Amino acid sequence: MIVADTDVLIDFLEGRQPGAQAVAAVLAAGQLQTTAISCFELLSGARQVRQRNSVQMLLDSIPALALDRAAAQKAAETRLELERRGNSIGMADSLIAGIVLLHGAKLLTRNRRHFERVPSLSFADLTA
């Protein structure tokens, strides 16, 4: 399972490479999912009707992993560990990382340098 971060979903919507191509390939293979956090970020960032429609069409085609109690606990553990080491990545990204870790998935993101601070987080190849 590949979980798309918000940044590559925006790339897909805007046709920006390499994110657009990576998302399209994983989507076509039926392996793409996202998180409820990325859904929130996309929906709250869509200010115009055309943007909202595009975002909604994309989200309707991708399953979203929930922020349930188990994911929240994993995210909290991840955030606390990163803060202890002085490597915080922020609330939303901590939640995304926790969800991805809980599900044993790979994260598809342009922001690898940021997420690489999270131990045990696996990544999908953006250029494949």
> What is the pLDDT, as a whole number, of residue 4?
98
Over residues 25-44, the pLDDT tens digits come to 999 999 999 999 999 999 99
Domain count, the chain: 1
Q: Is residue 127 part of a domain?
A: no
In terms of residue numbers, what domain contains 89? 2-117
Closest-CA residue to 108 (of 19, 10, 29):
19
**Confidence check: pLDDT of 14 > 90:** yes
How much of the chain is helix, strand and coil, in % rounded to 5? 55, 10, 30
Residue 21: CB atoms within 10 A of its CB come to 17
User: Do 4 and 23 contact (CB within 8 A), yes or no?
Assistant: yes
Can you give the length of the chain in residues? 128
Q: Is the model's pTM score more than 0.85?
A: yes
What CATH number is attached to the domain comprising 110?
3.40.50.1010
CA quadruple 30, 36, 38, 42: dihedral, nearest 10: 100
